[in-house]
Every structure is written in structure tokens, then in C-alpha cells.
């Protein structure tokens, strides 16, 4: 059977599947839109970050739409050089992430990961994707408590959609840090000092760009700390990919 015929049969089967068994929207529980467990109405409710800084992902002033960097990133650039974070951490994104992260609703992570993958494909249409995905690691004690690493689950979806390898053993969590929620930016930085360690066997090839994956970026301290460790290990550039960005 030719490739063209095989693709046609596959598309027909996919269409038949969603006609007979439509997805269920993870937010409103009504039938989802085609190929997604998210309906069109709820998709439109996902709050986008409008005109973000290309480095930290925070929205830039509407008075200067020509700018691409915020003042903070110009003065004190973080370890990473690019971020793609499509959504604001506001309802319904915040509630969907909470269900995914704390109530074992893994389907939420898959659906939001697919939305992130679509956004990434658009953002990188004129540039090369990073060669590897590195999910922000959790300490073993935290994984035993939660049962999974939410960043790794998002990375699995991105790997499948974008055909990029996941590098699971590049870096590990050396210390079981306390929860970052509720900490000030200074306390977060102190909490994460020397929290990550690189596998001694890891050697990045020249000009290697990697992407850190997480669910939410709040102050950027976690991804900055991890990016610094990766750069010291020889990575050429570090990008940050996440589902949502807190704006306050």
C-alpha cells in the first residue's frame, strides 16, 4: 500500500473515531472540538499572554509594541535566552493545572501540553527547535508523594508532538526543597541554591540548545537556576517552555 493511500486511510479512521466517539471537554464536560478534549468555547477562554518579552515571558507595555525585551531582561538577563509560555496563570488555565498537578488529572496535562506544542510549532516555524527537552526534575521524595512529575508528563506530550527527545537523566534534584508557593523571590532563590546537579557522565555537544519544560513559571527563579547549571555543563543556549506564566 502506498504512503499516500496509507495516510488517507489513517485520516479517514481518525475522522470516523471522532465522529463516533467525540472527545469530552476537560473544562465544561461537553463534547470537545475535533481532535481535542477541549471544546472551541473553552479554548477561546484560555487567557493568552499578549505581546510577551521573548526572554522572561512577561507582557510588555502596550505603549511600545515594537519592543521584544523587557527592561529587567535587558539589565539583568537570566540564564535562559528565550521562553515560550502561551497562557496566563488565570482561570480556567490555573484550575486545569491545579487538577493536573495535585488531583491526578493527567488528561489536563496532556491537553494543555498539546496546546503548548501547537504554540511552539508556530513560534519556531522560522528557527530550529532545541535538540532536547529537559523537564524540571522533582526530588525522589516528592515523586513518591505525588506519583509523577508534572513537568515530565508535559514533556512526553511535547516529545510526541514535536519529535524531540526527552533527556530525563541529564539533571537531578539534589535537595528536597520546600514548596515554592508563597515564598518571596529572594526566598525562592535561597531555597533553590544548589538544588540541581548535572549527571557527571553528561557532556553536551558543541552548539547544543536545550529546552527546560515546566508547568508554570512564577518568578523564573527555578528555570534560571536550572539554566545556569545546564550552561555550566556546556549547553550553548537554554530555552524555557511552560504552559502558564504568573503576571503578578
Q: What is the pLDDT of residues 33-88, one digit of tens each?
A: 656 788 989 999 999 999 999 999 999 988 766 778 999 999 999 999 999 999 99
CA-CA distance, 207 to 190, in Å (whole number)?
31
> Residue 216 forms beta bridges with which residues?
244
- Tally DSSP H helices, then E strands, for the chain: 9, 8
Using one digit for the tens of pLDDT, what is the confidence trace for 111-152?
999 999 999 999 999 999 999 999 999 888 888 888 999 999
The yes-or-no verdict on residue 240 having pLDDT over 50 is: yes
Task: Please tell me the predicted confidence (pLDDT) of residue 205.
Answer: 81
Entry pTM: 0.85
Spell out the domains of the chain, with CATH numbers in brackets: 1-45 (no CATH), 51-245 (3.40.50.2020)
Task: Please tell me the predicted confidence (pLDDT) of residue 139.
Answer: 82
Among the listed residues 140, 135, 139, 193, the one whose alpha carbon sits nearest the alpha carbon of residue 168? 135
CA-CA distance, 62 to 51, in Å (whole number)?
8
The yes-or-no verdict on residue 12 having pLDDT over 80 is: no
| Sequence-ordered strand ranges (E) for the chain | 82-84, 87-88, 132-135, 165-166, 171-173, 196-198, 209-217, 237-245
Alpha-carbon torsion (237, 242, 247, 248), positive or negative: negative
Using one digit for the tens of pLDDT, what is the confidence trace for 173-232?
876 665 656 555 666 566 666 678 888 777 788 889 999 999 999 989 899 989 999 998
What is the pairing mode between strands 237-245 and 209-217?
parallel
* Phi, psi dihedral angles at 165 (to 5 degrees): -75, 145
Amino acid at each position: 500500500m502506498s504512503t499516500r493511500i496509507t495516510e488517507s486511510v489513517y485520516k479517514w479512521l481518525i475522522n470516523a473515531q471522532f465522529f463516533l466517539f467525540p472527545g469530552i471537554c476537560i473544562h465544561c464536560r461537553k463534547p470537545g472540538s475535533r481532535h481535542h478534549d477541549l471544546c472551541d468555547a473553552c479554548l477561546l477562554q484560555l487567557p493568552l499572554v499578549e505581546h510577551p518579552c521573548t526572554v522572561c515571558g512577561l507582557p510588555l507595555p502596550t505603549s511600545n509594541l515594537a519592543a521584544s525585551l523587557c527592561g529587567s531582561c535587558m539589565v539583568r538577563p537570566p540564564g535562559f535566552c528565550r521562553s515560550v509560555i502561551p497562557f496566563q496563570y488565570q482561570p480556567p488555565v490555573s484550575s486545569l493545572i491545579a487538577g493536573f498537578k495535585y488531583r491526578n488529572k493527567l488528561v489536563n496535562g496532556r491537553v494543555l501540553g498539546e496546546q503548548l506544542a501547537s504554540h511552539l510549532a508556530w513560534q519556531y516555524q522560522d528557527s530550529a527547535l532545541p535538540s532536547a527537552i529537559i523537564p524540571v526534575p522533582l526530588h525522589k521524595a516528592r515523586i513518591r508523594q505525588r506519583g509523577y512529575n508534572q513537568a515530565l508528563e508535559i514533556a512526553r506530550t511535547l516529545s510526541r508532538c514535536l519529535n524531540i527527545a526527552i533527556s530525563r537523566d541529564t539533571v537531578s534534584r539534589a535537595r528536597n526543597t520546600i514548596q515554592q508557593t508563597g515564598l518571596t523571590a529572594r526566598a525562592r532563590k535561597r531555597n533553590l541554591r544548589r538544588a540541581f546537579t548535572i549527571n557527571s557522565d553528561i557532556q553536551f555537544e558543541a552548539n547544543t540548545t536545550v529546552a527546560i519544560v515546566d508547568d508554570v513559571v512564577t518568578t523564573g527563579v527555578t528555570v534560571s537556576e536550572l539554566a545556569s547549571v545546564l550552561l555550566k555543563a556546556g549547553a550553548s543556549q537554554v530555552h524555557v517552555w511552560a504552559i502558564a506564566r504568573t503576571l503578578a
